[in-house]
Structures are given as C-alpha cells and as structure tokens.
Structure 1
Amino acid sequence: MIQRIQTIYLLLAAIVSGGLIFMFELYTTPEGVKVFINDTTYEYIAFLTSALFSIVSILRYKNRKSQFMLGRLNIILNFFLLGFFVYLSLNLSGETAVSEKGIGMLLPIVSIVFLALANKAIKKDEDLVKSVDRLR
C-alpha cells in the first residue's frame, strides 16, 4: 500500500536530497564565493543517487524487504556524504580567513532521520504481516 507513513518519510527524504540541495549553499570560501552543490560533481551525483533510492523505494511498496534494503543503502550513502562534508569542513580553515559553512552540509543528517523513520515504519509493517501469517 502506497498510502503508508513510510511513503511520506521517503518522499521527504527525496525532497531533501533532490530539491533542497539546490537552495542552500554548502560553504562560502574565504574570498566570499558561495559554493552550491552544482559546483561539485561527486557530491551532486551522491545526492541525486540518494533521491533516486528514495523514489525507487517508494515505488517498491509491494516488496517490503527490498524497500527496507534500499533504505539502509540510502542511509549508508548519506553517512558517506556526511563524513565527506565533515572532512571538508575541517579542511576549510577558519584561522587566517573567515570561511562559513552553509546549511547544505547538514542536509544528509535530515535525510538520515527521515530514512530511519521510514525504515522503522517498514519494519513495523513487516512485523504486522508476519504476525497475521502466523495466525493462519
């Protein structure tokens, strides 16, 4: 059933990964240039892959095991993105020149939260179906 709560969570994760990344800057260089996701290639591909995983997971509503597995892969991908952004923010020096970190670096955290909530709801549905099958 597509009208479940995990669909909303997955849709919100897809919006965060595929839409909000274009609105918020990742960081500002010491020269004052704002760097958006369009300026970086690998992060751009990783965010769009994360959004694609969320959309495919929504469409796999009949197979909850693959939906759960795609959610886990998506969480792992977002952890890699988050780790890369932490590494990047530690290398943006703030000692000699002021560089500002943007809110775009925190978007993988928001996506991870939505994906974890979706996986929890998928697991709850799977447990409910298993308990009903035991009664037959």
Structure 2
Amino acid sequence: MIQRKQSIYLFIAVIISAGLTFIFSIWTSSQNNTPIFIVDLFSGVSILEKITPVLFYISALLSFVTIFLFKNRQLQFVLGRLNILINLFLLGILIYLSQTLPGESLASEKGIGMIFPIIVILLLVLANKAIKKDEDLVKSVDRLR
C-alpha cells in the first residue's frame, strides 16, 4: 500500500523537509555574502533560530512515519493535520527571522528554502485529501455489507 497517492505526497514532503534543506539556503548573509542553510541555524543565538531546524526534521520524521500508518487512516489523517500545524508554525518563525535579521537594511537575499514549508503544507493537504477519499471509500463499502 505504499504506492498510494498520499504516500507519494508524503514521501516528497520528507525529501523537501529533510533532504533539500542541505542543498538550498534560507537566506544569504548581507555582511559577508555567505548562504545560510537550515543546519547553520543550530549555532544561532536565539531559541527561535535553534528550534527552526528541529521543526524541519520533526516535520520530515512525522511525514515518514505517516507513510507506514496506511492501515490506520484516522491516525494518518490526524498526523497529517499536526504536521500542517508544525509547518505553519515553522513558516511563521521563518518570516519572523527573515524580518529581524541583523543587517536587514542592507537587503539580504532570501533563498528558496524560505518557501519549503509552503510546499510541504500543500503536499500534506493533498495527502490528507487522498486519505479522506480512501476513508470515504472504505466506509461506503462497509455500508453495502
């Protein structure tokens, strides 16, 4: 049952949340023009900077675990919603951090990593929609019995 649509959506969300964060930067520092990646935020000074990579990896882990819960669609649906909330919180943190960067008046460049939570949210919504469709199909078959 891993070949279902929602499993593909969830797997792409895992790749984006965990894998692509090492490749694409969140923003580029305006002082020395170096790209800042998700992993670089572990050495940040504020708690928000330190929690950002943790939230990315929790989101990836939650998506990965959700793939293998195909026998329990209700739990899969709830974990998908929880993952959407985590990514919304992560998006808010990234927007806040990008607006309060030191040297923001020098116009630092935002990277593609800033939109990863939006893409993951869209994938999770599509996965939840497919899970709901499966659940409705099973309920309709159960009614016929």
TM-score band, normalised by the shorter chain?
over 0.9
Distance 1:11 1:48 in 2: 14
Distance apart, 1:34 and its partner CA? 1.5
Distance 2:28 2:118 in 1: 20
Distance 1:111 1:123 in 2: 18
Superposed CA deviations along residues 22-41 of structure 1, whole A, max 9, x for unmatched, are 11111112211221111113
Distance 1:89 1:38 in 2: 16
Which residue of structure 1 aligns with residue 64 of structure 2? Answer: 55
Distance apart, 1:94 and its partner CA? 3.8
Distance apart, 1:90 and its partner CA? 1.7
Which residue of structure 2 aligns with residue 23 of structure 1? Answer: 23
Gaps of 5+ in 2: 43-50
State the one-letter code of the partner of 1:23: I
Distance 2:81 2:133 in 1: 15
Distance 1:18 1:69 in 2: 21
Residue number among 96, 107, 127 corresponding to 2:116 in the alignment? 107
- How much is the aligned-residue C-alpha RMSD, in angstroms? 1.1
When the two structures are aligned, how many residues end up with a matched partner? Answer: 135
Identity of paired residues, percent?
A: 57
Superposition pairs of residues 33-52 of structure 1, within 5 angstroms = 33-41=34-42, 42-52=51-61
Distance 2:97 2:37 in 1: 14
What SS does the corresponding residue of 2:107 show, helix, strand or coil? Answer: coil
Aligned structure 1 segments of 4 or more residues deviating by more than 4 angstroms = none
Gaps of 5+ in 1: none
Superposition pairs of residues 1-136 of structure 1, within 5 angstroms = 1-31=1-31, 32-41=33-42, 42-92=51-101, 94-95=104-105, 97-136=106-145
Distance apart, 1:89 and its partner CA? 1.7
State the one-letter code of the partner of 2:112: I
State the one-letter code of the partner of 2:3: Q
Distance apart, 1:44 and its partner CA? 1.3
